[in-house]
């Protein structure tokens, strides 16, 4: 890849729902590439709170301001195969992985090693979450919402409204 080539990155997750932590990592990754593909993992064995279409819509809404601010083209897609395969299909030369703590680091190092063995041309870059959002986990956000708690410190106002709607519909 030459310096004038467009750099494409891939950031994956279930984004159920997209949190301020996800947005933080997306914003940091967008500063490092020209094009960032945010891949929503869709697995038949998992039963997410939000459908793939709902997660696509949330991410599109949440990433618009990030794209404007960074000048990075951000695309949202779904995938149902290996992250490294989805990254290659997106034309990515780098996979971004967010880190919250040491537990994340241990797991992500193993994943980076496995991905590197399968696709050595794709690098893994770890992005440390900002201190203000390191504690946020989507599964805990879902639990708080399901129990009627205030999720506003963890997600945008628009995502909080979607969560409230899901919880009400039950």
Calculate ∠ Cα 19-64-153, nearest 5°. 25
CA 159 from chain centre, in angstroms, equals 14
List the beta bridge partners of residue 75: 37
As given in the structure block, the two tokens for residue 140 are: 């805990």
- Please, what's the b/e burial string for 106-144 (b: 16 or more CB within 10 A of its CB; e: otherwise)? eebeeebeebeeebeebebeebebeeebbebebeebbeb
What pLDDT was estimated at residue 168?
82
What pLDDT was estimated at residue 17?
97
Question: In 10 A of CB 32, how many CB atoms?
Answer: 15
Question: What is the secondary structure of 21-48 as a DSSP string?
Answer: HHHHHHHHHHTT-SEEEEEEE--TT---
What pLDDT was estimated at residue 45?
82
Question: In 10 A of CB 161, how many CB atoms?
Answer: 11
Measured between alpha carbons, how far is 19 from 152 in angstroms, rounded to an integer? 10
Q: What is the mean pLDDT of each run of 10 residues along the chain (170 residues)?
A: 72 97 98 98 89 97 98 98 97 97 92 96 96 96 95 97 87
What pLDDT was estimated at residue 170?
62
Helix (H) or strand (E) holding 92: none
What pLDDT was estimated at residue 5?
64
Alpha-carbon torsion, ordered 45, 12, 140, 52, to 10 deg: -50
């Amino acid at each position: 890849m030459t310096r004038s080539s467009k750099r494409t990155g891939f950031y994956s997750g279930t984004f159920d729902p997209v949190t301020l932590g996800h947005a933080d990592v997306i914003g940091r990754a967008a500063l490092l590439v020209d094009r960032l593909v945010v891949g929503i993992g869709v697995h038949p064995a998992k039963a997410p709170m939000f459908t793939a279409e709902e997660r696509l819509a949330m991410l599109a809404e949440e990433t618009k301001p990030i794209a404007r601010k960074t000048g990075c083209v951000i695309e949202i897609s779904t995938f149902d195969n290996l992250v490294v395969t989805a990254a290659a299909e997106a034309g990515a030369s780098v996979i971004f992985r967010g880190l919250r703590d040491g537990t994340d680091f241990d797991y992500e190092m193993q994943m980076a090693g496995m991905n590197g063995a399968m696709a050595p041309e794709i690098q893994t870059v770890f992005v440390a979450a900002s201190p203000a959002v390191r504690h946020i986990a989507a599964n805990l956000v879902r639990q708080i919402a399901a129990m009627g708690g205030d999720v506003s410190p963890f997600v945008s106002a628009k995502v909080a409204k979607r969560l409230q709607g899901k919880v009400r519909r039950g």
